[in-house]
Amino acid sequence: MELFIEICKAVLLGIIQGITEWLPISSTGHMILVDEFLHLSGSKEFVELFLVVVQFGSILAVVLMYFHRLNPFSKRKSISEKRETIDLWIKILIGCVPAGIIGVLFNDQIKALFYNPVVIAIMLILYGIGFIVIERRKKRPTVNKLSEITPLKAAQIGVFQMLALIPGTSRSGATIMGSTMLGLNRKTASEFSFFLAIPVMFGASLLDLIKFDGVILPANILVLIVGMVTAFLVSVVAIKMLLSYIRKHSFEVFGYYRIILGIIVLIYFVVVPFFI
């Protein structure tokens, strides 16, 4: 019975991860709320490992969904298409440099300084307002395809992704908002954000796995697998839904959602304890 309960928790956490990782609404903001009511059994090290594994499931969703598009060695591609794919990877790697450098050098300090409910709530609200303001500018996009992204724009988007190291910002939220400010249309901004996640999240997951020094029990392996598979399946659905949604709608609704969530986080973690 206890194992069944842990599997149910893993499914719920996988669902939350799969949805919030790709929508610009902050997976950290949701996870910190869920963690107040839903605790996985096991050591602190195992819980941290679980979060890494479900994140890995989300990454696999992007890799498999866009495998042909991201594979420069596909036999079905012409020489020019292969070169275009290699060019895309160069831009992806350029975009990952800022977050990669700062993440490796200051990851522990950032977590110690900023990983708290107040910072998360403030970031949720600020970027929520940012989405609303940007969407209301009605500025015509100048970049409508991934091939039109220049190395300079890729680096600039990478700076926005670096800002997402502060929890509550949302990696996809920061990169999508930054991309639209730089002239990318919604679809191109979203897809480039997905692709930027691959090396960044793989790298972050690898660092966390290297640091892991706990013991994994046989029962916990099943919990890890369930969480990863759930995050993978939900990520596929979330990505498809987001791309379908933004064909006819703006990101403004996500701005309002972030503001509401940020207010809820503030009330629960700051206002409520003040009166208790």
* Domain residue ranges of the chain, discontinuous segments joined by +: 2-221+245-275
In tens, the pLDDT along 140-149 reads 899 999 999 9
Q: Which of 97, 105, 53, 30 is nearest to 227 (CA)?
A: 53
Q: What is the pLDDT of residue 214?
A: 65
Token pair of 126 as six digits: 């600020």
Q: Report residue 45's pLDDT band, with 50, 70 and 90 as the boundaries.
A: confident
Residue that the structure tokens 């609200």 belong to:
125
Q: What percent of the chain has a predicted confidence (pLDDT) above 70?
A: 98
The answer to whether residue 36 scores a pLDDT higher than 80 is no
Q: Mean per-residue pLDDT for 108-137?
A: 91
Helices 151-163, 79-114: crossing angle, 10 deg rounding: 20
Mean pLDDT score of the chain: 90
d(CA 38, CA 40): 7
The answer to whether residue 273 scores a pLDDT higher than 90 is no
b (16+ CB within 10 A) / e for 30-47? bbbbbeeeeebebeeebe
Cβ within 8 Å of residue 46, ≥6 positions away: 40, 214, 216, 220
Find out whether 188 and 150 touch, Cβ atoms under 8 Å.
Answer: no
Cβ within 8 Å of residue 182, ≥6 positions away: 143, 153, 156, 157
Q: Report residue 272's pLDDT band, with 50, 70 and 90 as the boundaries.
A: confident
Q: Mean per-residue pLDDT for 255-264?
A: 95
Q: What is the pTM of this model?
A: 0.90
Would you give the distance in Å from CA 102 to the centre of its chain?
A: 17
The answer to whether residue 82 scores a pLDDT higher than 90 is yes
In tens, the pLDDT along 166-223 reads 989 998 999 999 999 999 999 999 999 999 999 988 877 777 777 776 667 777 889 9
